Amino acid sequence: MKGYYFITDKNLSRLGNLSDVRNAVKAGVKIVQYREKNADAKEMYEEALKLRKICKGVSFLINDRVDIALAVGASGVHLGQSDMPYKVARKLLGKNKIIGITVHNVEQAVLAQKAGADYVGVSPVFETRTKPDAKNPVGIELIRKIKQRVSLPVVAIGGINLSNAKEVISAGANCVCAVSAVIAKKNVKSEINKFQKLF
């Protein structure tokens, strides 16, 4: 697991989720996470189904919603600290699906690894306005501390852009996600390519 980690956000997107994901796949992204906080289940299901078809050869994860992941045959889910417990999600999804967990400190990362998570998302590294409910920035030092304690891949997210991504990767992040720095721009594919070149 390495490189740019793509997360959708239709509120920030210039061209919409389908176009963004097509461009992400063209840019060689290996993981796409469908994050949708404001749609009802039917809307989510229908859009997720279209996105999954675009994600050939790419891991397609659903944020929070295990039911949608199961319904569309996604590669797995990404869970936050207040989402469904890992054990329950694993039981429903089976042992072969990917489950990532957002962590805000070393203890949560250690617990995620013990539980059996496939990777951890460290969030928010810097201040971010993309996620209204984001916690206080954890800083790149936390990435270093987590890498000392767990062997799981680390995805860094929150306030990351081209000017600070290099230090995030140097701190040990296997993947970076920079939502607004990519999908709010005119050319999503070329913006992703800039991040991919840092690895």
How far is Cα of residue 137 from the mean position of the Cα atoms in its chain?
A: 17
Q: Which fold has domain 3-196?
A: TIM Barrel (3.20.20)
Name the H helices within the chain.
17-26, 41-54, 66-72, 86-93, 106-115, 140-149, 165-170, 179-183, 188-196
- For the chain, what is the radius of gyration of the CA atoms? 15
Encode pLDDT of 150-199 as tens digits. 999 999 999 999 999 999 999 999 999 999 999 999 999 999 999 999 99
In the structure encoding, which two tokens stand for residue 157, read together?
């997210």
Query: Of 56, 33, 79, which is closest to residue 175 (Cα–Cα)?
Result: 33
CB 122 within 8 A of CB 140: no
For the cut 90, the answer to whether the pLDDT of residue 130 exceeds it is no
pLDDT digits (tens, 9 = 90+) for 23-77: 999 999 999 999 998 999 999 999 999 999 999 999 999 999 999 999 999 999 9
SS in 3 state form for 99-127? EEEEECCHHHHHHHHHHCCCEEEECCCCC
**Nearest in space to 44 (alpha carbons), one of 22, 24, 71, 23:** 71
Report d(CA 3, CA 182) in Å as an integer: 14
CA distance 171 to 167: 6
Question: What does the mean pLDDT of the chain come to?
Answer: 96
- Write down the pLDDT at residue 106: 98
Each residue of 88-129: pLDDT tens digit?
Answer: 999 999 999 999 999 999 999 999 999 999 999 999 999 887
